[in-house]
Amino acid sequence: MKKYILLFLSLILLFSATACTPKASILFNQRPITKENVMDYSSTFERGSRIYYLILMPEFQHSRFLNIQIIKKGDAQYLGYELFMTRNIRLKDEEDKYYTDYMVINQAGAYIMKVYSKDKPTKVLTQAEFYVR
């Protein structure tokens, strides 16, 4: 009887600990993002071309402001990372679950996009890598 109770409790613990919670994510695309091409993900872009991105936030953000950082990898400054660009965004009322825009980068290299919330500036909501040839 003791084994069955232990097995039952361990199964309950297993199912409650492995619950899937949606995370924020970033999708990059070479064309403006619409419902038809949202899954045409790409991570390599040409120099001087538009890099369209979609930031998905399944959890409600208490702050209406996001901070986006673009970090360039590979230079000798600051252990190989250089802060390339920052941008503060105010979300509109209809953009509480997503934000979409584009950027143009004219320097080749590997980049990381990090997204922070204004109310928790030390916690990264999401990050993704992309490359410019």
Render pLDDT for 8-64 as a digit per residue (tens, 0 to 9).
656 565 555 555 667 889 999 999 998 888 888 899 999 999 999 999 987 766 688
Question: Residue 67 in 3-state DSSP?
Answer: strand
Residue spans per domain, the chain:
21-132
Contacts (Cβ under 8 Å, ≥6 apart) of 11: none
Match domain 21-132 to its CATH number in 2.40.50.100, 3.40.1710.10, 2.60.40.1930, 3.10.440.10.
2.60.40.1930
Distance separating alpha carbons of residues 14 and 30, to the nearest angstrom: 41
Do the strands 124-132 and 50-56 form a parallel or antiparallel pair, or are they unpaired?
unpaired
Among residues 128, 120, 130, the alpha carbon closest in space to that of 59 is found at 120
Render pLDDT for 106-125 as a digit per residue (tens, 0 to 9).
999 999 999 998 888 899 99
Q: Report pLDDT for 8.
A: 62
Distance separating alpha carbons of residues 33 and 76, to the nearest angstrom: 34
